[in-house]
Amino acid sequence: MDVELAWLRTWLEVVDSGGFARAAARMHLSQPRVSARVASLERSLGCVLIERRMRPLTLTDDGRRLLPRARLIVTEVDDTVSDLRATAGSITGKLAIASFASGSSEFLPGVLKQLRTANPLLEIAVLDGDVQISDEWLSDRRAAVALRPLRPEPADHAWIHRGLWREPFVVLAPPGHPILAADAIGLEDVAAHPMITIGDPLGDPSLGYEAWSAMQSSRIEPAGGIVSHQPTTLAAMVRAGHGIGLINGLAAAMVRTDGLEVRQVDSAQLYRDVGVWWPSERPLSRAAQAFVDLVLAAECPAGTRPIPAA
């Protein structure tokens, strides 16, 4: 029996959704239809792909082996069809971009407006997440390209990147906070107070990556604090009196700062470099290449500057 592409797509949707019912809702199909497609795929391959008696959804060994290959097959088919259907002046198909909240808010809208104006039939998805999640999306081909900080480096050293901008860090503090008395706020000043930073609360429970790295390189012992995924949560924590906020400039630009003072941190060690990334083992689709070209030609976001030459 031949394997149908629709079966692979449906099985991937079940895996990504975490279950048959959610996949059915997202695909606008009945749950029996989704189950039938997955069952047809398993019969065709002669193996079981999903442990149906276990919750949450769990893949069998065969399912785990198939997963990266299925993503590759579907991605290659979609990119090939998109490239062949494209005319000289317009690109069709789908493009998924992994990004992070402040990059999506303060940089992507202008770039995607240009891309959509030139290619009105192109479907674009922006997947926002932290560095770890963004890397997973790029690795398993759910995203074709990623807007991502340069540090920490991804585990896959074969990925290609082009640097885009460097942004400073700022402090958010309530009016009258002692740290605002200084003419210039340095890392030592910041480290003397409890901090709320952006990062991975599970991996960096006391400080976000950039703050921790800058403190370590400067041999400064921080007071510690709270780590959050979301800039809006950070600002709310500062308003509630949990500490000062230490946050990259673009993230500060996307949150409400009413009732807070914003001051730039004067430090050569504390900054965020951002680039556009893609895997080197496969060629970019025409849609992804058009996105990369626009990103590289775009102006740096307000308050940032080009990354200095090494």
Kindly report the CA angle at 121 between 118 and 122, in degrees rounded to 5? 80
pLDDT tens for 14-32 read 998 999 999 999 999 999 9
| Residues 258-273 pLDDT 10s | 999 999 999 999 999 9
Would you place residue 283 in the very low, low, confident or very high pLDDT band (cuts 50, 70, 90)?
confident
- DSSP bridge partners of 272: 167
* pLDDT tens readout for residues 158-205: 899 999 999 999 999 999 999 999 889 999 999 999 999 998 887 777
The backbone region for 141, taken as left when phi is positive above 0, alpha when psi lies in -120 to 50, beta otherwise, is: left
pLDDT range class, residue 88, cuts 50, 70, 90: low
- Are residues 86 and 92 in contact, defined by beta-carbon separation less than 8 angstroms? yes
Q: What end-to-end distance do the CA atoms of the chain give, in Å?
A: 56
**pLDDT at residue 1, rounded to an integer:** 62
- Its pTM stands at 0.80
Give 56's DSSP letter.
S
Distance CA 90, CA 187 (A): 49
Query: Cα–Cα distance between 73 and 5 in angstroms, integer?
Result: 9
What backbone torsions phi and psi does residue 203 show, to the nearest 5 degrees? -90, -30
Phi, psi of 24 (to 5 degrees): -60, -40
